Structure 1
Amino acid sequence: MNTSDPQPAYRWVVVTAAALILAVSMGAIVNGMSAFIIPMQENFGWSRGDTTLINFAGILGLAFGGLVMGPQADRRGTRPVVLFGVIVLGLCYVLASVLTSLWQFYLLFFIAGFFGAGAIFPPVMAAVGNWFFVGAGMAIGIASAGQALGQGAVPFVSSMLIASLGIKGAFAAIGAFMLATMIPLSFLLRQPPALSAAQTNTRNATPQAELPTNVVILYLSAAIILCCTCMAVPLMHLVPLIQDRGFAPEQAGSVIFVMLIVAILGRLAFGKLADIIGALPAYMTATAWMTLMVFGFTYVERLSTFYVYAVIYGFGYAGVMTGVLVSIRVLVSPAHRASAFGIVTMFGWFGHAIGGYQGGALYDLTGNYTASYAVAALAGVLNLVIVSNLLRKQRRLAYQPACRNR
């Protein structure tokens, strides 16, 4: 077998299974709770800040769980670890249907994040990359697009389930759906065939930059916690913001569903843009797009305007995570890439948790979402400052050898 041989056709089965698993699991754990915020507030009397902490607990569990469960997949294989994760996540949602206390939700969703989503996200993303000795970036983009689909579909479907089945019935139905769909999909995840020496050399080609790995991880970790703080506010609080304008939960859920459908195209488009202008400039473009638009949600009053604004915002914001993943691939050597991915994305989940919680907490303090979305915009600006400094370091490093060669 040589590098001109076709890659295994089964790799696209893995990509498809990965995209669907990420759609259901990440849609549920990252922002699926957004549909439950107001219903829980009305039914249990809990504040939005307290309710949002449920989502905070789940993402915190995901952040720490990925560091622990990822290495387990390296030792035990992808399938058993992911299978364990989907079972835990599905059962946690079923169990949530009988809970009545906030502390119980906090504990349960931390477990769902740590042992459930934490056992799914890193192994699945690594599995997709492992099946491609060339062209892994597009494959990862497709899998990531599946996640974007789920982050729109799960809150939308949850809103309809809550309306028809109530809070408890919605949790039970979502959990049952997880178990019925993700368990069979997990069995499609196989270990890739061994690569030839030539293919291994192609896969492990020298990265495009030579910045120290610890510098790259430091800068990208600081950047991603800020950009995810920014993006988490509309992900968690756009649905309740629209409901506060007097629209039905189903209408509010449909807006974020449309936004994240468009985000599928955005993730692929910004992956292509990174190939043209570079990973960090593409990342900065997406972050600037998101930062300039995020506060504008607070000025929208009409449902039709929400749809239009969400479509434009969603296309640009979606490129942020694509930019981060491509930047890691470009700036970090293959020997340290997996570790860098785990560390940087951990800080990304921290940012999601922080952004979602502060959105609810500031709403409780002020009675509206103006301060919440203002903090989101400020986090986006600080992200741009950090990434621009990293870009200057990269360009300075590339410039110095050119000067020496004159």
Structure 2
Amino acid sequence: MREQRVFYGWWIVLASVLIAMITGAFFYGITFFVDPMAEEFGWSHATIMWAVSLRTIELGIAAPIVGFAVNRWGPRRLLVGGGLMGGIGFILLSQTNSLPMFYAVFVFVALGFSACGSVVLTTVVANWFRRRVGLAMGLTLAGFGLGGILMPGVGWLVDAHGWQTASIVLGAGTCVAVPLLGSIIRRRPEDCGYVPDGTAVPSAQSASNDAGASGPELSPRQALRAQAFWFLAVSAAIGFMGMNAVTALVASYLDDEEASTGMIWVTTTFLPLASILGRMGLGWAGDIYSKKGILAWSVVLQIIGLGAFCYAPNTAAIALFLITFGIGYGGAIALRPAIQRDYFGRSAFGAIQGLLMGVVTLGGVIGPVVAGWVFDSGGDYQPAWIAFAIANFLSIPLVLAMRRPGTSKAPRQHR
């Protein structure tokens, strides 16, 4: 085999970043559709947020299925099919004329994007990296934050041409881009003559030895019996509750607080960009120091950010919110799958990641609906932000109590 100057795993990370960027635009971009659709159809914020919760329910149900599917059939089929399905669904969204149709199409889009989302992409990264899994996870998952780069364009499309046209443009772009990028992905480094992190494989025996050196390799059933699985899942569900609500409602909330259009655009753009710093920076730190210790600090940052968000549209409060909440939740997103790789191995990573996401998304279901209900009941979102901050604080002991299966005390990581 001709020697490659750049490990192919990094090309896979690049393709994964771009796929995540496109699907991340769906996650963040919904905030621009809330007010126009509410005005056109007379729906309440809580009614529209049920679509976000239905999306999250679907992701939770589909995640274990997608996880087992990617372990069995590999990532490329899922990425190509999911990209086409999500893009077509976005085009169909432009034809929405009733609430049942809106819910049905939204779930259809979410189903497509679940096949090319974090479960598939993190499984690919876990297969290709071991020593640098934190950095690789951080870079890959930063792609979802990079979707924020597209937010000014999405906002402009919705404002200038209407939400229907914006849906068509986003759908057509997805149908083309995601399948092309998915064709670059390869399942495992061994298929290309390498082991994780790019070391050439001189023999079958050396590949086996390297795989065995990476720590425990648990089956999905064994992972479900491990205390660490449930501590990781529940703490992540609590974090996702607030994150899903904030990212879905940030534009609507700032508009209700009479923030300027410029502040809304800056916030919706820089929130995902700030999360990129967390995903890459805290993911990299997790390769050097204790991953669960860094994860606990990321939760603290989210708590500070939620508190600052209550004082919007004060400029200093928004700046503090962007820095702390963005970096905090971004770091948590990168660190949790890296911890999973360390604790449970890579042989069943997709299936275990799917099971974890099935639990985690329960928090995502609760968050937007609770926030929408709080607003419809009292005309303000601040009580919801405070409740999410308290819930995050209560999740910190779960993070610190996590232990790798088979150990009585979590080992500290050093380089």
What's 2:198 paired with? none
Q: Which runs of 5+ in 1 are unaligned?
A: 401-406
What's 2:367 paired with? 355
* Number of equivalences: 393
Q: Is 2:21 the counterpart of 1:23?
A: yes
Match of 1:75 among 72, 97, 101: 72
**Counterpart-to-counterpart distance in 2, 1:395 and 1:71:** 24
Given the superposition, is the C-alpha separation of residues 200 and 242 from structure 1 closer, same or farther in structure 2, using an over 3 Å criterion? Answer: farther
Match of 1:178 among 170, 174, 178: 174
Equivalent pairs: percent with the same residue? 20
Question: Any idea what the Cα deviations from partners look like across 1:81-124, whole Å, max 9, x if unmatched?
Answer: 21000000000000000111122121122222224323543222
Alpha-carbon RMSD across the aligned residues, in angstroms, is 2.8
* Aligned-partner SS, 1:270: helix
Paired amino acid for 1:180: V
* Aligned-partner SS, 2:401: helix
Paired amino acid for 1:279: K
The list of structure 1 runs, each at least 4 consecutive aligned residues, that deviate by more than 6 angstroms after superposition, is: 5-8, 393-396
Paired amino acid for 2:75: T
Given the superposition, is the C-alpha separation of residues 59 and 194 from structure 1 closer, same or farther in structure 2, using an over 3 Å criterion? Answer: farther
Given the superposition, is the C-alpha separation of residues 27 and 351 from structure 1 closer, same or farther in structure 2, using an over 3 Å criterion? Answer: farther
Question: Any idea what the Cα deviations from partners look like across 1:185-238, whole Å, max 9, x if unmatched?
Answer: 12222344255432343244253899x742111111111111111222321222
**Counterpart-to-counterpart distance in 1, 2:10 and 2:142:** 14
What's 2:53 paired with? 56
What's 1:404 paired with? none
Match of 2:101 among 75, 100, 104: 104
TM-superposed CA distance for 1:261, in Å, is: 1.0
What's 1:66 paired with? 63
Paired amino acid for 2:146: L
TM-superposed CA distance for 1:166, in Å, is: 0.7
Q: Is 2:153 the counterpart of 1:142?
A: no
Paired amino acid for 1:229: M
Given the superposition, is the C-alpha separation of residues 248 and 158 from structure 1 closer, same or farther in structure 2, using an over 3 Å criterion? Answer: farther
8 Å CA contact 2:119, 2:350 repeated in 1:
no
Match of 1:284 among 296, 301, 310: 296
**Counterpart-to-counterpart distance in 2, 1:394 and 1:299:** 43
* Aligned-partner SS, 1:299: coil
Given the superposition, is the C-alpha separation of residues 240 and 306 from structure 1 closer, same or farther in structure 2, using an over 3 Å criterion? Answer: same
TM-superposed CA distance for 1:47, in Å, is: 0.6
Q: Is 2:232 the counterpart of 1:220?
A: yes
**Counterpart-to-counterpart distance in 1, 2:270 and 2:410:** 43
Q: Is 2:199 the counterpart of 1:199?
A: no
TM-superposed CA distance for 1:179, in Å, is: 1.5
What's 1:230 paired with? 242
Superposed, 1:371-382 pairs within 5 Å as: 371-382=383-394
8 Å CA contact 1:279, 1:330 repeated in 2:
no
Paired amino acid for 2:89: C
Q: Is 2:335 the counterpart of 1:323?
A: yes
TM-superposed CA distance for 1:38, in Å, is: 1.5
Question: TM-score if structure 1 supplies the norm length?
Answer: 0.87
TM-superposed CA distance for 1:364, in Å, is: 0.8
* Aligned-partner SS, 2:213: coil
8 Å CA contact 1:21, 1:185 repeated in 2:
yes
Given the superposition, is the C-alpha separation of residues 160 and 204 from structure 1 closer, same or farther in structure 2, using an over 3 Å criterion? Answer: farther
What's 1:43 paired with? 40
Paired amino acid for 2:294: A
What's 2:197 paired with? none
* Aligned-partner SS, 1:390: coil
Paired amino acid for 1:348: V
Paired amino acid for 2:408: L
The structure richer in helix per residue is 1
8 Å CA contact 1:269, 1:319 repeated in 2:
yes
8 Å CA contact 1:134, 1:202 repeated in 2:
no
Q: Please identify, of 318-327 and 249-258, the stretch whose mean Cα deviation from structure 2 is larger.
A: 249-258
TM-superposed CA distance for 1:7, in Å, is: 8.7
What's 2:10 paired with? 12
What's 1:403 paired with? none
What's 1:113 paired with? 110
TM-superposed CA distance for 1:135, in Å, is: 2.6
